[in-house]
Structure 1
Amino acid sequence: MTGPEFQKRKREHKKIVVVTAYDALFTRIVEEAGMEVILVGDSLGVVVQGKKDTLSVTMEEMLYHTRLVAGAAQRALVIADMPFLSYQVSVDEAVRNAGRFLQVGAAAVKLEGGAAVVDRVQAMTRFGLPVMGHLGMTPQSVHRYGGYKVQGKEREKAEALLADAKALEAAGAFAIVLEAVPANLARTISEALTIPTIGIGAGPHCDGQVLVLY
């Protein structure tokens, strides 16, 4: 699977399946099961390391696990999460850290946020670094939300999420994860974009779904 093929699935109305993996063994297992897209998620902080959230996951930890997955993957598109503070500090640092993921074998990176990260997405894509966005319940902002809660239930917040999605697409993102948003809002966003939406707790109307393993 390649980035252009990923986007082609939306045009052909074919659902996209994404799963997480953090090591070589699970990469081989999910590929043998037919999975074509693997996300090396910073969720490893919770499901692998046993922490309460993803905020303490480091660049070095993410690079290590990305290297394991990318080295074992034969066909799957490997996307790596950019951890907390790896892209927020400056545009230059964001581009540099995204490039480090591609150096260890990732085909793309994922980062959280809307308008606040548009300049990062623009810079990355300008230098040929494929970027997936992430809107809705963004785990790196869990303390701002007061916990893991559905986002976009109020009209004003729903409109803001739609605007963020359009801004990410215009900035060059090749896809967007929608996490914990109402199903009708996910459908509205999906229909408004030409790039795929990948849902997690966002109902059945996204262009694909992502499942966090173990």
Structure 2
Amino acid sequence: MLEVRGLAKSFGPAALFEAVDLDVAAGELVAIVGESGSGKSTLLNIVAGLDRPDRGTVRLDGAALPYGDDDALALWRRAHVGFVFQAFHLLPYLTVAENVALPLALNGVESSQRLERARAALQSVELVAHADRKPGTLSGGEAQRVAIARALVHAPRLLLADEPTGNLDEGHAGQVLECLRAEVKRTGAAALVVTHSALAAAACDRRLRLAGRHLAPA
């Protein structure tokens, strides 16, 4: 589903990575590990259309990312990508259900359908009972599961997670990883997870290491 070929990125005279090839199938979780500064988050940003490569192509379902058109990239991300970050980025003045419904509003889904679909997404992560609560009342693990529901509520083809367990203790991290894995398998999204956590990497189907400017099996 996700196909990366010959990706290269430099900052000034220094090459961050070069000739990166990567494939992620539907319903597959792939972890990218590596030292700080190796380029993991930059690679994720390029796949997300938030940054541009110096060379190479990224395709989703056979269609190349429109790197030359900022407006087209924004529309592509809105329609096809779900994001999960280390910081939960939940809006404190909205309810849990309203937070989950935000991608639907951005994609023009009618208001009458948004909360219904948000509640269904919360049901899938076992948090529908918290739908009308504010994010400040949630534990860290609950907040990250809400973020997973928000990332997947609009049925994106690609899920990108940057240190999704970085703010969680081991117990909550395990719960979140189990939830993330189950939801990726259920929805059939292709998932790319950047992490320093051995626990998070072990929960993925494959592990790759970015080191020495190249991506290889870990």
| Same-fold call, TM cutoff 0.5 | no
TM band (smaller chain): 0.3 to 0.5
Question: What TM-score does the superposition give when structure 1 sets the normalisation length?
Answer: 0.39
Question: What TM-score does the superposition give when structure 2 sets the normalisation length?
Answer: 0.38
More strand by share: 2
Higher RCO structure (Cα 8 Å, ≥6 apart)? 2
